[in-house]
Amino acid sequence: MSKAKGTRLERELFHMFWTNSWGSIRVAGSGSTSLPAPDLLVGNSKRFLAIECKAGKEKRYIRRGQVEELVEFSTKFGAEPWIAVRFNNMGWYFLGVDKLQDTKGGNFVVDKEFCKLNGITFEDFIKE
């Protein structure tokens, strides 16, 4: 998937939070600085979420180090760490970092079926 499409989908989620009355920001240089940083940081004055966005066609690998950095940032800042996944022809699903599927190589993998079974839809997520 192109980087532009990834950015477009990240913006989609950013706007979905605003539409539902959460404050939301996209993080500058996420993935490019040596310091840990999520893609989005959102809050509604009760909950604070650090979100790593992943998009793909059918399946998506996630490096273990990236998840560890998300947890590191979240602990320091004081936010809940979440992976938000968006596959073609499906809405966003939220996965807790303890809900990811290991690969043999020590990283993680998510696919459509896994999201449906283990993920939380955006609508349910913001209801919680």
Can you tell me which of 22, 66, 90, 125 binds a copy of itself, judged by CB under 8 A? 22
Of 91, 103, 98, the residue nearest 118 (C-alpha): 98
DSSP state of 98: G
Rounded to the nearest 5°, which phi and psi values hold at 76? Answer: -65, -50
User: Could you tell me the sign of the dihedral formed by the alpha carbons of 3, 17, 45, 126, in that order?
Assistant: negative
Can you tell me which of 2, 3, 4, 45 binds a copy of itself, judged by CB under 8 A? 45
C-alpha span between 118 and 95 (Å, rounded): 7
- Measured from the CB atom, the residue of 26 and 64 that comes closer to a copy of itself is 26
Residue 21 binds to a copy of itself (criterion: CB under 8 A):
yes
30: annotated active-site residue = yes
Residue 18 binds to a copy of itself (criterion: CB under 8 A):
yes
Residue 9 binds to a copy of itself (criterion: CB under 8 A):
no
Tell me which of 2, 30, 34, 74 is the catalytic residue: 30
Neighbours of 124 (CB within 10 A): 11
Residue 71 binds to a copy of itself (criterion: CB under 8 A):
no
For a copy of itself, the binding residues (CB under 8 A) are: 18, 21-30, 35-38, 41-46, 48, 73-79
Catalytic residue numbers read: 30
